[in-house]
């Protein structure tokens, strides 16, 4: 065979990545695939077919370590079978559990080849090369001086109609229950130029909706296009100028960083969807202080009022913890009252679970499991009632639906409402990527059924925010 033949390529390697946790982990998994692609790794659907398996872990949820080691035990069998057949499987653990418990992972699972924290993904090619040259595990859980975003290539795999874009990482808040400051490091904001470049790239690949990601995304304060520092409202205004980018969202936010300019942006920018996830965790001032949240319950109420003034159709979502150390029945009742006062379209609620190394883990007064269960059930019953009521309130309402693909049944499309609910209705999958007008005909617990008002797609708003301002 002619060695200069361009069709002569090395055999392709197969990569399997399993992600747990937040959307930022999903984003990170995609970037790991991008950085490994030049080494010949292409995605595969199952670990059985893989030459490299990456477990991208999350430390937020309960029993994260147990879930990891259970999965590693199953993968060990596959890895050994590969070796007996004369081939090799590189086994890597990434993400926040890797950052927090790297030494324990290699001690309990010495067959793991690579342990790397969230700030080291850009070093994957180097680490894979080190593994191929050496025996034993490679651990990379330092916080490097350089920022990984400066070394990651442009994404080669389209995310689809709805895409995610990380603009901020880390956290400086140090909430008593949270490991993020220890696993993701201090707050870092990407520059506006870098964010806009990636956003344009995503749109060129077919994205119509982009969700900006960050541990404290509304704390973003990146370098502006002409120097100086921009805040999130300014970045959103610039993103809204990108042709064919029809929808913008951002998550997850902190009440302390929800300033008036950002609140006003919800009324100024048509592309910014009327849905906001704004975690509060508790409705008790005493517990908010114990959690080191840095705000009071009434501030949250004021923010909700301002948001609804700026954008009357906005829907709110939040996070709640039941049974944080020291929580009394009065504190629990204060949380129920805040839920009743605000009214949420969606919420995530959990029992408190200890995270080693966090202040709450060593608190003297821990709430009994049975009491945490009871409080959580009361909280979830109220939140479910509110979510059902919000979904029912949409019946008969006309709204724009972003079609994301074919539905589960023949002749059906799937999509998203402006309020982030999954939507399904009769229509052609050829509408994927378009925004169509629809009327909500039925509400299920977690989705809406719609009737499309004709098959003509609606484009982005006819005027950009700047054009609107000029016209005024």
State how far the Cα of 170 lies from the Cα of 182, in Å rounded to an integer. Answer: 9
Helix spans in 364-408 (H): 369-393
Q: What is the CATH number of the domain that holds 408?
A: 2.40.50.140
Distances (CA, A) of 402 to 125, 147, 162, 317: 37, 34, 9, 20
Q: Same structural domain for residues 35 and 181? A: no
Q: Report the pLDDT value the prediction gives residue 51, as an integer from 0 to 100.
A: 92
The residue from 110, 140, 170 where one domain ends is 140
Q: Is 62 helix (H, G, I), strand (E, B) or coil?
A: coil
7 domain residue, yes or no: no
Q: Same structural domain for residues 69 and 168? A: no
* 3 pLDDT higher than 50: no
Of 121, 70, 114, 65, nearest in space to 88 by CA: 114
**464 vs 430 pLDDT, higher one:** 430
Burial readout 437-450 (b: 16 or more C-beta within 10 A, e: otherwise)? ebebeebeeeebbb
State how far the Cα of 385 lies from the Cα of 221, in Å rounded to an integer. Answer: 37
Q: Dig out the tokens for 287 from the structure.
A: 């517990």
Helix spans in 165-296 (H): 180-183, 192-204, 232-239, 260-268, 285-290
Mean pLDDT in residue range 13-35: 85
Q: Same structural domain for residues 261 and 152? A: yes
Q: Dig out the tokens for 273 from the structure.
A: 């969807």
466 domain residue, yes or no: no
Share the mean pLDDT of the chain: 87
Of 230, 249, 106, 40, nearest in space to 165 by CA: 249
State how far the Cα of 382 lies from the Cα of 78, in Å rounded to an integer. Answer: 45
Q: Is 70 helix (H, G, I), strand (E, B) or coil?
A: helix
pLDDT digits (tens, 9 = 90+) for 381-433: 999 999 999 999 999 999 999 999 999 889 999 999 999 999 999 999 899 99
109 domain residue, yes or no: yes
pLDDT digits (tens, 9 = 90+) for 68-94: 888 999 999 999 998 888 888 999 998
State how far the Cα of 29 lies from the Cα of 36, in Å rounded to an integer. Answer: 11
* 303 pLDDT higher than 90: yes
Question: Which residues, including other chains, have CB under 8 Å from residue 172's CB and lie 6 or more apart?
Answer: 181, 186, 187, 216, 219
Q: What is the CATH number of the domain that holds 25?
A: 3.40.50.12160
Q: Same structural domain for residues 213 and 285? A: yes
Q: Same structural domain for residues 323 and 350? A: yes
State how far the Cα of 280 lies from the Cα of 287, in Å rounded to an integer. Answer: 11
Number of domains the chain is built from: 3
25 domain residue, yes or no: yes
1 domain residue, yes or no: no
Q: Same structural domain for residues 289 and 333? A: yes
The residue from 341, 373, 393 where one domain ends is 393
* 112 pLDDT higher than 80: yes
pTM: 0.76
Q: Same structural domain for residues 297 and 354? A: yes
Q: Same structural domain for residues 121 and 172? A: no
Domain that holds residue 248: 148-393
Q: Same structural domain for residues 86 and 169? A: no
| DSSP-derived secondary structure for 137-163 | -EEE-S--SS-GGGTPPPP-S---SEE
pLDDT digits (tens, 9 = 90+) for 179-230: 888 777 889 999 999 999 999 999 999 999 999 999 899 999 999 999 999 9
4 domain residue, yes or no: no
Q: Same structural domain for residues 128 and 180? A: no
Residue ranges at the known binding site: 22, 58, 96, 171, 175, 178
- What single DSSP character describes residue 48? G
Greatest Cα pair distance in the chain: 79
469 domain residue, yes or no: no
Q: Same structural domain for residues 174 and 274? A: yes
Is residue 118 very low, low, confident or very high in pLDDT (cuts 50, 70, 90)?
confident
Of 316, 284, 306, 305, nearest in space to 383 by CA: 316
Q: What is the CATH number of the domain that holds 153?
A: 3.80.30.20
The residue from 347, 369, 393 where one domain ends is 393
* 360 pLDDT higher than 70: yes
Q: Dig out the tokens for 230 from the structure.
A: 């921009």
Question: Which residues, including other chains, have CB under 8 Å from residue 305's CB and lie 6 or more apart?
Answer: none
Q: Same structural domain for residues 374 and 257? A: yes
pLDDT digits (tens, 9 = 90+) for 321-355: 999 999 999 999 999 999 999 999 999 999 998 88
368 domain residue, yes or no: yes
Residue ranges at the known binding site for [4Fe-4S] cluster: 22, 58, 96, 171, 175, 178
Question: Which residues, including other chains, have CB under 8 Å from residue 267's CB and lie 6 or more apart?
Answer: 310, 311
């Amino acid at each position: 065979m002619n060695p200069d033949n361009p069709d002569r390529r090395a055999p392709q390697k197969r990569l399997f990545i399993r992600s747990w946790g937040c959307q930022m982990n999903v984003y990170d998994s995609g970037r790991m695939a991008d950085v490994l692609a030049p080494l010949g790794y292409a995605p595969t659907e199952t670990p059985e077919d893989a030459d490299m398996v990456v477990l991208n872990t999350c430390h937020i949820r309960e029993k994260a370590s147990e879930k990891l080691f259970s999965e590693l035990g199953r993968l060990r069998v596959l890895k050994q079978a590969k070796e007996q057949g004369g081939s090799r499987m590189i086994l890597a653990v990434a993400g926040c559990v890797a950052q927090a418990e790297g030494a324990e992972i290699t001690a309990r699972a010495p067959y793991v080849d690579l342990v790397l924290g969230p700030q080291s993904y850009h070093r994957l090619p180097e680490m894979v090369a080190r593994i191929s040259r050496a025996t034993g595990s490679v651990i990379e859980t330092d916080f490097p001086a350089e920022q990984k975003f400066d070394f990651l290539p442009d994404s080669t795999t389209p995310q689809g109609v709805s895409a995610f874009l990380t603009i901020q990482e880390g956290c400086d808040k140090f909430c008593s229950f949270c490991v993020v400051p220890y696993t993701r490091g201090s707050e870092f904001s990407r520059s506006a130029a870098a964010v806009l470049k990636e956003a344009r790239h995503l749109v060129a690949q077919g994205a119509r909706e982009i969700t900006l990601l960050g541990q404290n995304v509304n704390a973003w304060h990146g370098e502006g296009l002409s120097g100086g520092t921009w805040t999130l409202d300014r970045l959103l205004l610039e993103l809204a100028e990108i042709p064919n980018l029809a929808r913008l969202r951002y998550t997850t936010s902190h009440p302390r960083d929800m300033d008036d300019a950002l609140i006003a942006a919800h009324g100024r920018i048509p592309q910014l969807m009327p849905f906001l996830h704004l975690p509060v965790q508790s409705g008790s001032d005493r517990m908010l202080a114990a959690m080191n949240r840095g705000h009071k319950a009434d501030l949250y109420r004021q923010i909700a009022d301002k948001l609804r003034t700026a954008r009357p159709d906005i829907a709110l979502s939040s996070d709640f913890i039941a049974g944080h150390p020291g929580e009394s029945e009065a504190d629990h009742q204060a949380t129920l009252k805040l839920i009743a006062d605000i009214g949420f379209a969606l919420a995530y609620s959990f029992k408190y679970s200890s995270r080693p190394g966090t202040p709450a883990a060593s608190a003297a007064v821990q709430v009994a499991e049975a009491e945490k269960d009871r409080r959580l059930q009361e909280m979830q019953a109220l939140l479910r009632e509110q979510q059902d009521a919000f979904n029912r309130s949409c019946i008969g309402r006309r709204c724009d639906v972003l079609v994301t693909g074919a539905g589960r049944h023949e002749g059906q499309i799937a999509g998203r409402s402006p309020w982030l609910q999954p939507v399904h209705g009769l229509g052609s999958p050829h509408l994927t990527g378009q925004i169509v007008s629809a009327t909500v005909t039925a509400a299920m617990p977690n989705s809406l059924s719609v009737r499309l008002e004709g098959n003509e797609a609606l484009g982005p708003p006819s005027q950009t925010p700047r054009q609107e301002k000029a016209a005024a």
